[in-house]
Structure 1
């Protein structure tokens, strides 16, 4: 069983949803990024997404775009992100790690080599936002051969005709995009989430995590009750950015602020179903 499947199965047995955290690799620098990464499991992150910085992040809003630019300025590369995961795995063996980003850095690295190297350092899954199932023939054989989950985004606009194709190409968990548009620009319509997730669950046994538009502990709790997990990214990126100095460098507040935000989100997610009962 993969780390992702094992983690969601364990959480289901516990009767709670997952907190999935997103931060951009090398933001604002490699050392700070690694320190935050190493602190995430103890702070309450159940699954960790690491953004691979890219110059044209078309699905991301201003906050994550700026985080990507900070990461690139700090020297982030695909190889550098893999090395970050390698160091993380030296002390943390159980928490699933998912790389989220775009196809171009993988293509430049070499698809087969990237998938093999990612698996070797302890990556568990990939979210490649600009590769739909219909165009994934170049990468799917390599993710499968290396035991990497290929996690798909499903949007409110994904219709019944296309849904089986997307679900059939998905492993690990489903990332349900709660809003139409880019990350971090508005909050989800929580009244519409329950019927949307219920409809999706009729087609799949995979866990569903809700992302895009979740910023507060209260919103994360709703998502964790409605589905199998909540994905929080922009709120963590904004928390990090608010601690930086005028030159965009980390300060003494950066790491504790981010991990403190994760702890508050985790507390809400872990008690959400009990509170809703």
Structure 2
């Protein structure tokens, strides 16, 4: 876990506390360890816990004449509907664009935090609300994409307010109905998952050929709309590709590696 963290998310922290956006997401077929990488276990913390710990430590080390405020929100995208995992009673939330064109989730709960432990407690509370169901391919299959957003606002003497956003995303895995043996509601969920992951893959493909592609279609799914600024804006994005050693998952693994290869060629201006 520590090795993966150092090679991926650790380098995003300095940009976030300086006012830039950053995103890290786990991508791959179902049952390949994406949730383990992002959330980990009590004995082996995942990327979320390690990133948050170093983020708050960096704020403490650099505060001086700068005032920092940290807040977080946590949502899931389930069947193309957005749910607030910290306050599920709000029902289905909508995406809105603000005056600058940035995509925001309307009315989502935003909670202030003063430590990594506090954010992780809220994350654990939200995970208890997350939609999970067993399938033939995965006994604890995530049926939704989970998005943790941490906002760092900073005000330095003599200067204005700046804010950076860190998105940490546990994507649901791509599925084949023959492998998962899904029927009914599970099959419907799988179709929504695959459709949103296809939209994400199409955006990655278009961005990797930006010189010849004038229009990037982010509107095919709630996931890509939410990630618009992360993928095509001025932030840093880390994609952690997960593959399976099983021969039955060859096609999914090959597809994941192809998307990862394309993602490496995306360049953003920061």
TM-score (norm 1): 0.30
Greater Rg by CA? 2
* Higher share in strand: 2
- TM-score (ref. length: structure 2): 0.31
Q: Normalized per residue, which structure has more helix? A: 1
Higher RCO, 1 vs 2 (CA within 8 Å, ≥6 residues apart):
2
